[in-house]
Structure 1
Amino acid sequence: MPATALVLYLVFAVLGFGWRSWTQHRRTGSTGFRGIHGRPGSLEWFAGAGFIAAILAGAAAPLLQLLGILTPIALLQAPWIQVGGTVLAVAGIAATLYAQRDMGESWRIGVDPSETTTLVLRGVFGLVRNPIFTAMLIFAAGITLMTPNPLALVAFVVLLATIELQVRVVEEPYLNAIHGQAYRDYCETVGRFVPHIGRTRIV
């Protein structure tokens, strides 16, 4: 299972980051990468740096298990759990690509405060406000269940925490500043990560 998890991680990286960035550059002349913002030690900085750390740790977890350096937690080593994890990981890859397609030319990794992008409300964005992050968490949960060692569990928790930070501290304030009432209306009717859950009133 660690070898399969590594292959799926590679597929996710190539399609979700590499291929998507390449197609974005072909369409717009920009790769979509905006980097880490905020002064070192700020919540904005932790959101970006923690996200990168979680991705790297998530990739290292199955590799270290494959090499015999880490061992899975016995209670989570049942075959049905690993099969379920594989299904989740594959579904997460597909959902990420689908959500990226719906986002179109507005797709970015990170935020440039001086930039204005279109507020996407169509497709899966009509169901949840952050479907790409939701899909990434589904993928990460699947990989964690496939190789449930301590590092994988920590990586998933860090990823969840940093995605929450990125959305609440970086992206929502940015979108509110750029799109104003249209974004506030959107937040009141569409859930943050799950349909109907996390709807909020921004003032």
Structure 2
Amino acid sequence: MPATALGLYLIFAVLGFGWRSWTQYRHTGSTGFRGIHGRPGSLQWLAGAGFIAAILAGAAAPLLQLLDILTPIALLQAPWIQASGTVLAVAGIAATLYAQRDMGESWRIGVDPSETTTLVRSGVFGLVRNPIFTAMLIFAAGITVMTPNPLALAAFAVLWVTIELQVRVVEEPYLNTIHGQVYRDYCGAVGRFVPHIGRTLTV
């Protein structure tokens, strides 16, 4: 199972980051990567740095388990649990690519405060405001269940926290500044990560 998890992680990285960035560059002249912003130690900086750390740790977890350096938690090794993890991981990859497609040329990793992008509210963005992050969490949950060792569990927890920080501390204030009342109306109508939940915006 760790070999399968590692393979799915590679597919996710190639399609969700590499291929998408290449496609973005071909259409717009920009890779879409905006880097980490904020003073080191600030919440903005922790959101970006923690996200990268979680992604790297999440990839290392199945590799280290495959090499017998990490041992999975026995309670979570039931075949049906690991099969469910595989389904979640595959669904997360597909959902990530679908949401990225709906975001179009507004797709970014990170925020450039000097940049104004189109507020996407159609497609899957009409159901939730952050479908790419939702899909990434589904994928990460699947990989964690497939290789449920302590590093994988910690990586998932850090990913969850840093995504919350990125959305609440970085992206929502930026979008509120750029789009104003239109964005606030959108937040009042559409949930943050799942439909109908998190419709109240606090900035």
Contact 1:93 1:136 in 2 (8 A): yes
What displacement does 1:202 show?
Answer: 4.6
Equivalent position of 2:142 in the other structure: 142
Q: Distance in 2 between matches of 1:25 and 1:80?
A: 41
Task: Return structure 1 stretches of 4+ with deviation > 3 angstroms.
Answer: none
Instruction: Name the structure 2 match of 1:168.
Output: 168
C-alpha separation in 2, matches of 1:30 and 1:69? 40
Q: Is the 8 A contact 1:187 1:202 kept in 2?
A: no
Q: 1:44 maps to which residue? A: 44
d(CA) in 1 for partners of 2:121 and 2:168?
A: 18
- For residues 37 and 130 of structure 1, the distance between their equivalents in structure 2, rounded to whole angstroms, comes to 20
Which amino acid is the alignment partner of residue 70 of structure 1?
A: L
Paired with 1:37 and 1:78, the residues of 2 have a C-alpha distance of 42
How far does the alpha carbon of each residue in 1:13-39 deviate from its partner, in whole angstroms, 9 at most, with x for none? 000000000000000000000000001
TM-score, structure 1 length as denominator? 0.99
How far apart are the structure 2 equivalents of 1:161 and 1:3?
27
Residue of structure 1 in register with 2:88 after alignment:
88
Cα separation, 2, equivalents of 1:104 and 1:47: 24
Amino acid paired to 1:127: L
Structure 1 residue runs of 5 or longer lacking an equivalent are none
Output the CA distance in 2 between the equivalents of 1:11 and 1:190.
30
* Percent identity of paired positions between Structure 1 and Structure 2: 89
Aligned to 1:152: 152
Shift of 1:169: 0.1
Corresponding residue number in structure 1 for 2:123: 123
Equivalent residue letter for 1:105 = E
Give 1:197 shift: 0.4
Name the Cα RMSD after superposition. 0.7
Looking at structure 2, the residues matched to 75 and 45 of structure 1 have their Cα atoms a distance apart, in angstroms, of 36
CA distance in structure 1 between the aligned counterparts of 2:91 and 2:39, rounded to whole angstroms: 36
| AA in 2 matched with 1:41 | G
Q: How far apart are residue 201 of structure 1 and its match? A: 4.0
Residue 184 of structure 2 corresponds to 184
SS of residue paired to 1:51: helix
What secondary structure is seen at the aligned counterpart in 2 of 1:199?
A: coil
